């Protein structure tokens, strides 16, 4: 269920306003921001509330694929089983498209390609059922007790988590070099059926010189609203940002901008001091 009330579509590109406690006023219905190095929680709201996570799911999909040690150069084919019959979303990966497992993984993380994520699960030992079971086992191992997975794409609204849990998932994903690389790639040109197609990252912030982003994933289905998770480096410290159930196309990005501005202008001691302690 959505937590939004009287939501306003956000077009202010992250204008920073503070509440009575000096915290930034964010438009996301649930969020969690923490210094990953120290564990200090910088901001949170509804951080234990369990909500649909949409394509944030694909971070776990990527970890399960990489944990299995499957051949990244193996070719996978898009089939009828990868068509989205739940939400009716489209894809430029037409039936019969053959790409390496590595390319499927890149497109799933970078441009949130649902058919790529589906194909990755189907080509797992034991098939999709075994893959989803492995996703849930991995969540338990990470201590993400609020998290449940029912598919590899996030199209199923039964895929749920809490902001606190997603911070654990992002922190774990940041330990995988390929997830860091693929989730922050700004664009990729891929040969599909004899045509070269451009795929872009769904998070525009990865193209901004103002940001140093190590892990990124966006998500959207109607039940989840617009979601964004990142690990971003600020003042030489890794900061995990989880923004869930945002209304309006640009709200999650504007909220991320607010968080960065707030840290730069009001919360520097919480990250810069930690960096100084680490380096001393």
Asked about 55 being catalytic, the answer comes back as yes
Catalytic residue among 28, 47, 58, 168: 58
CA 219 to CA 228: how far, in whole Å? 6
CA distance 33 to 201: 22
Q: Please indicate if the annotation marks 217 as binding a ligand.
A: yes
Given 47, 112, 161, 162, the catalytic residue: 112
Please indicate whether residue 91 is annotated as part of the active site.
no
Q: Which residues contact 226 (CB under 8 A, 6 or more apart)?
A: 218, 219, 220, 245, 246, 247, 248, 249, 251, 252
- Two tokens at 51? 């909500």
Side-chain half-sphere of 153: how many Cα atoms within 13 Å? 24
Annotation marks residue 2 as catalytic: no
From residue 143, give the alpha-carbon distance in Å to each of 146, 166, 174, 191: 9, 10, 16, 40
Query: In b/e form, how buried is each residue of 156-171, taking b as 16+ CB within 10 angstroms?
Result: bbebbbbbbbbbbbbb
Q: What is the C-alpha to C-alpha distance for residues 229 and 31, in angstroms, rounded to an integer? A: 10
- Identified catalytic residue from 55, 111, 162, 246: 55
Residues contacting residue 9 through CB under 8 Å, at least 6 positions apart = 247, 248, 249, 250, 251
Binding-site residues, please?
Answer: 217
Give the residue ranges of the annotated binding site for substrate. Answer: 217
| Active centre residues (catalytic) | 55, 58, 112
């Amino acid at each position: 269920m959505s937590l939004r009330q009287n939501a306003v579509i956000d077009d202010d590109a992250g204008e920073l306003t503070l509440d009575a406690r000096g915290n930034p006023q964010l438009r996301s219905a649930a969020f969690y921001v923490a210094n990953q190095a120290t564990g200090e929680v910088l901001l949170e709201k509804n951080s234990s509330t369990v909500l649909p996570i949409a394509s944030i799911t694909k971070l776990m999909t990527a970890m399960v694929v990489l944990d299995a040690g499957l051949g990244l150069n193996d070719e996978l084919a898009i089939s009828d089983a990868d068509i989205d019959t739940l939400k009716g979303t489209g894809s430029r990966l037409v039936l019969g498209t053959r790409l390496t497992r590595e390319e499927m993984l890149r497109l799933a993380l970078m441009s949130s390609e649902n058919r790529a994520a589906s194909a990755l699960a189907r080509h797992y030992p034991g098939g999709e059922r075994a893959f989803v079971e492995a996703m849930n086992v991995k969540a338990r191992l990470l201590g993400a007790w609020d998290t449940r997975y029912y598919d590899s794409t996030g199209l199923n609204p039964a895929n749920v988590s809490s902001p606190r849990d997603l911070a654990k998932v992002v922190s774990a994903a940041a330990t995988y070099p390929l997830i860091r690389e693929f989730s922050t790639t700004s664009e990729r040109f891929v040969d599909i059926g004899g045509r070269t197609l451009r795929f872009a990252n769904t998070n525009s912030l990865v193209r901004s010189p103002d940001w140093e982003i190590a892990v990124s994933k966006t998500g959207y289905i109607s039940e989840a609203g617009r979601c964004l998770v990142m690990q971003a480096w600020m003042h030489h410290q890794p900061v995990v940002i989880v923004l869930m159930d945002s209304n309006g196309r640009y709200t999650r990005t504007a909220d991320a901008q607010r968080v960065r501005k707030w840290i730069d202008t009001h919360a520097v001691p919480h990250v810069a001091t930690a960096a100084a302690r680490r380096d001393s």
